[in-house]
């Protein structure tokens, strides 16, 4: 029965294949910054813009409040917003929407996503908008950012907009998280241990902890890929570069050396990771009855999971949690990975200047509004991106309560804010997400696989990862 179909289908493939030659438009000019039209933003012309994010119900409540605030300033801008689900969903959804020309005007984004939207030349390059000193309508306010506003941004967060290899500004930071070192302060104090600031100190502390509690993992590290990327950055050994459409630089001897060292420490039982342990390392950290870890490197956004239990009979906390910046390889080149959403403005063939300007005004509002930044930080446990957020009274009061027990979230935010100079994100291009995935696999293989020849194992793992990236 199907035989005839086989023939038909195969001929069809050939015929349609020939058709394929046709189609496809011609190439347009290269990426250029968006040019602000001379007419500027028209305060009287109603305009509708859309905003896609991944906020849960609670954060959407905060957003709604501030959309209302924004509308007091700009009553003719109507904003509809929508959650696209989780991080895994939003990228694919917007990719498809770009193909249909129905992308939202503003989107939550990570650098890897923006790199993808960039291929379609769908991201509005913000440089001219930021620099514009044109007045908005007949108000005194300018379209762009004032020098004071620019200076208010935490610089390392602001610079995340420029990691696409051409030094142009593609995104604005919204709120951020980072990796921090959680430690059992009660245990550290009781045993006279010093909180490590460098990796060498860390391994020393691990050794001491192992002597005190031989059954424990002194350190739990959540994400192997972050660890690899952070070490590359701290030691300046090379990871990737967005230049020339993306380069993979991580296959080098310096990186192999630190991976080999990590393997030795892993084999000694000094640390474990989420994948190697088989569950959240935060469980090891908060659990006081079973196997433990006394230090844990994880996202500052996950602080609520690192909180010590207070289900003891008298309701007191089992121990006090300390929070510190992660250890460094070189104190003159301090680097801590930064995560959390930024905002990008998207455009298609039917996007009007009025929409782009309205979107920019809203992005500017969200990223520079002291009250929004403060309230959003309290609701999400993420860090604000402007220094002046602390001027919000509620926020200042909230931060003042920071401690290692019930107000651990505030404490994490505080530590994050104190180390504002250290943040980095790795450069983004089509393939940067593959690189991240591959170094994660590489770490797992190199740390845990059984072998007689460690160097061979490591060499092969690096070769495999590079081959997969460059395929």
Residues 369-428 binding other proteins (CB under 8 A) are 380, 382
**263 HSE (CA, 13 A, CB side):** 21
Q: What's the closest the beta carbon of residue 198 comes to other proteins, in angstroms?
A: 27
User: Hey, how many other C-beta atoms are within 10 angstroms of the C-beta on 58?
Assistant: 9
Task: Rank residues 202 and 447 by Cβ distance to other proteins and give the closer one.
Answer: 447
Residues 6+ apart with CB under 8 A from 116: 91, 95, 430
- CA 88-469-32 angle, to 5 degrees, is 70
Contact flag: residue 214 with other proteins (CB under 8 A): no
Q: What is the per-residue binding string for other proteins in 296-335, x denoting contact by CB under 8 A?
A: ---x-xx--x------------------------------
Closest CA to 65 of 370, 375, 357, 363: 375
Shortest distance in whole angstroms from residue 119 CB to other proteins: 4
CB–CB of 339/299 below 8 Å?
yes
Instruction: Report the sign of the C-alpha dihedral through residues 149, 155, 156, 158, in that order.
Output: positive
**With binding defined as CB under 8 A, does residue 287 bind other proteins?**
yes
Does the footprint of other proteins cover residue 470 (CB under 8 A)? no
Alpha-carbon span 242 to 246, nearest angstrom: 4
Q: CA gyration radius for the chain?
A: 25
Provide the 10 A C-beta neighbour count for residue 7.
Answer: 10
What token pair was written down for 204? 């020393």
Q: Interface residues for other proteins in 176-195 (CB under 8 A)? A: 177
Asked if 99 is part of the footprint of other proteins (rule: CB under 8 A), the reply reads yes
Contact region with other proteins (CB under 8 A), list: 19-27, 181-189, 198-206, 389-397: 19-27
Cβ burial of 267 (10 Å; 0-12, 13-18, 19+) is exposed
CA of 357: how far to CAs of 107, 127, 180, 263, in Å?
A: 15, 13, 37, 52
Of the candidate spans 110-118, 151-159, 364-372, 400-408, the one that interacts with other proteins by CB under 8 A turns out to be 110-118
| Residue 144 C-beta: closest distance to other proteins, Å | 27
Identified binder of other proteins from the candidate list 68, 119, 190, 397, rule CB under 8 A: 119
CB of 434 to other proteins, least distance (A): 6
By CB under 8 A, the residues from 34 to 93 that bind other proteins are: 54-59, 82-89, 92-93
* Contact pick of 74, 77, 97, 265 for other proteins (by CB under 8 A): 97
Among 35, 120, 212, 396, indicate the residue that binds other proteins (CB under 8 A).
Answer: 120
Residue number with CB closer to other proteins (277 or 317): 277
Residues in the chain: 471
Binding test (CB under 8 A) with other proteins, winner from 49, 66, 107, 122: 122
Binding other proteins (rule: CB under 8 A), the pick from 171, 175, 230, 255 is 175
If binding is defined by CB under 8 A, does position 244 make contact with other proteins?
Answer: no
């Amino acid at each position: 029965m199907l035989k005839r179909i086989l023939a038909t289908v195969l001929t069809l493939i050939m015929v349609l294949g020939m058709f394929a030659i046709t189609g496809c438009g011609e190439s347009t000019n290269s990426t250029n910054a968006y040019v602000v039209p001379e007419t500027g933003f028209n305060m009287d012309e109603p305009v509708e813009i859309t905003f896609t994010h991944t906020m849960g119900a609670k954060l959407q409540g905060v957003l709604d409040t501030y959309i209302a605030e924004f509308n007091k300033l700009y009553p003719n801008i109507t904003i509809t917003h929508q959650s696209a689900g989780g991080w895994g969903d939003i990228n694919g959804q917007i990719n498809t929407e770009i193909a249909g020309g129905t992308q939202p005007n503003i989107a939550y984004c990570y650098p890897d996503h923006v790199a993808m939207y960039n291929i379609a030349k769908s991201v509005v390059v913000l440089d001219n908008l930021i620099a514009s000193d044109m007045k908005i309508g007949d108000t005194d306010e300018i379209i762009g950012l004032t020098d004071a506003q620019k200076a208010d941004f935490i610089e390392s967060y602001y610079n995340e907009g420029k990691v696409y290899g051409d030094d142009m500004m593609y995104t604005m930071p919204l709120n951020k998280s980072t990796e921090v070192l959680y430690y059992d302060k009660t245990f550290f104090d009781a045993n006279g241990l010093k909180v490590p600031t460098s990796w060498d100190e860390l391994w020393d502390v691990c050794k001491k902890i192992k002597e005190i509690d031989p059954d424990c993992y002194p350190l739990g590290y959540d994400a192997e890929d972050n660890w690899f990327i952070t070490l590359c950055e701290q030691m300046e050994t090379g990871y990737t570069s967005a230049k020339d459409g993306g380069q993979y630089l991580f296959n080098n001897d310096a990186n192999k050396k630190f991976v080999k060292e990590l393997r030795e420490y892993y084999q000694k039982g000094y640390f474990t990771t989420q994948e190697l342990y088989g569950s959240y390392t935060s469980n090891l950290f908060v659990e006081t009855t079973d196997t433990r870890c006394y230090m844990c490197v994880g996202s500052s956004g996950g602080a609520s999971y690192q909180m010590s239990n207070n289900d003891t009979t008298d309701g007191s906390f089992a121990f006090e949690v300390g929070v510190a910046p992660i250890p460094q390889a070189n104190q003159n080149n301090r680097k801590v990975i930064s995560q959390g959403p930024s905002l990008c403005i998207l455009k298609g063939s039917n996007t009007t200047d009025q929409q782009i300007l309205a979107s920019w005004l809203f992005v500017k509002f969200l990223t520079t509004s002291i009250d929004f930044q403060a309230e959003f930080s309290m609701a999400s446990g993420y860090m604000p991106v402007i220094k002046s957020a602390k001027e919000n009274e509620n926020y200042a009061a909230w931060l003042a309560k920071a401690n290692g027990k019930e107000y651990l979230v505030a404490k994490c935010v505080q530590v994050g804010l104190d180390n504002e100079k250290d943040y980095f994100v790795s450069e983004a291009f089509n393939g940067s997400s593959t690189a991240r995935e591959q170094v994660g696999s590489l770490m797992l293989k190199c740390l845990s696989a059984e072998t007689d020849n460690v160097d061979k194992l490591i060499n092969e793992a690096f070769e495999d990862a590079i081959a997969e990236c460059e395929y």
